[in-house]
Amino acid sequence: MSEIYVITSGKGGVGKTTTTANLGMGLAMRGKKVVLVDTDTGLRNLDLLLGLENRIMYDLIDVTEGRVPYKKALVRHKKYENLFLLPTSQVKDKNAVNPEQLVKLCEELRQEFDYILIDCPAGIEQGFKTAIAAADVAIVVTMPEISAVRDADKIIGELGRADKENIKLIVNRIRPQMVQSGDMLDMDDINDILSLECIGQVPDDEMVVTSTNRGEPCVALSGSQAGQAYRNIVGRILGEPIPFMTFQKEGILARLKRIFSL
């Protein structure tokens, strides 16, 4: 039984591609056969995050336009051999693929893969509509910041209009210190505002930057907090009841202590 996930956000720069790379690799580490489809045509980056940028021969557009079968365009990961990338074109634009083509391709991919993860472009235009067309589940990535949450709400509305009912939320780049001092929205705030089921909160972690530099997603690094958060999300996707990491809000006593500098 294979499942198609789209990773989307509305706003750019909240971590869609990072999330796609980490969840994909995390699922592959758990023995699932996974393909990551980059639909951010013209601004492709998923290849870089996975360290596969030098091994691309064909791309998504070659496949949807019928020049090559999809198997020829797939790039296999060096270390995790059941992880594959279907890269997109860096020279074409978002209109090069339409929803029907992507749906057809995903139905073919279903025959072979356990999980198909689609990395969606930012925005709510055609590229977004194409990316979500085939998805069974949408993962909305947001950050604890008003503009990102507002855009997430807009995207959730658009997903509803496209009859995508299975929507999950990931809150990315939480800074526990700021949450503790009451200066950052926490997961519960965002859950409440968006009335959506959250499947993970990922702390802001310098190792996300260093692992991206190396093209090795942090989900594989045992010492990374963000990596642990991604491993937890992977577990939840596989149906395991994993408790959320807790970043406690400051209680009244702690706050009074701080006010009086005790």
Partner 1 sequence: MMEALMKIFGKKEPSGKVARNRLKVVLVHDRINISPEIMENMRNDIVKVISKYVDIDMNAMEMSLANDDDSVALVANIPVSRMKHDKGGLK
- Report the alpha-carbon distance of residue 218 to residue 92 in Å, rounded: 30
Is residue 175 near partner 1 by the rule CB under 8 A? no
Report, in Å, the least distance between residue 187 CB and partner 1.
Answer: 12
Q: Quote the distance between the C-alpha of residue 174 and its chain's center.
A: 15
Is residue 61 near partner 1 by the rule CB under 8 A? no
Contacts of 153 (CB under 8 A, 6+ apart): 193, 194
- Report the alpha-carbon distance of residue 20 to residue 235 in Å, rounded: 15
Is residue 193 near partner 1 by the rule CB under 8 A? yes
Is residue 216 near partner 1 by the rule CB under 8 A? no
Is residue 56 near partner 1 by the rule CB under 8 A? no
Binding mask 139-158 for partner 1 (x = CB under 8 A): -----xxx--xx--xx--x-
Is residue 179 near partner 1 by the rule CB under 8 A? yes
Of 181, 235, 236, 238, the residue at the interface with partner 1 (CB under 8 A) is: 181
Stretch that binds partner 1, among 12-20, 86-94, 107-115, 251-259 (CB under 8 A): 251-259
Which residues in 82-141 contact partner 1 (CB under 8 A)?
Answer: none
Of 85, 185, 226, 237, the residue at the interface with partner 1 (CB under 8 A) is: 185
Comparing CA positions, the residue from 164, 165, 225 lying closest to residue 200 is 225
Q: Quote the distance between the C-alpha of residue 59 and its chain's center.
A: 20
CB 60 within 8 A of CB 87: yes
**Closer to partner 1 by Cβ: residue 1 or 252:** 252
Comparing CA positions, the residue from 87, 27, 99 lying closest to residue 57 is 87
CB 245 within 8 A of CB 170: no
Of 186, 201, 208, 233, the residue at the interface with partner 1 (CB under 8 A) is: 186
Is residue 13 near partner 1 by the rule CB under 8 A? no
Stretch that binds partner 1, among 84-92, 127-135, 165-173, 253-261 (CB under 8 A): 253-261
Structure tokens at 191: 């859950």
Of 54, 111, 163, 252, the residue at the interface with partner 1 (CB under 8 A) is: 252
- Report the alpha-carbon distance of residue 19 to residue 172 in Å, rounded: 9
Comparing CA positions, the residue from 51, 16, 73, 37 lying closest to residue 217 is 51
Report, in Å, the least distance between residue 248 CB and partner 1.
Answer: 14
Angle at 202 between CA 171 and CA 127, to 5 degrees: 50
Residues making contact with partner 1 (CB under 8 A): 144-146, 149-150, 153-154, 157, 178-179, 181-186, 189, 193, 252, 255-256, 259
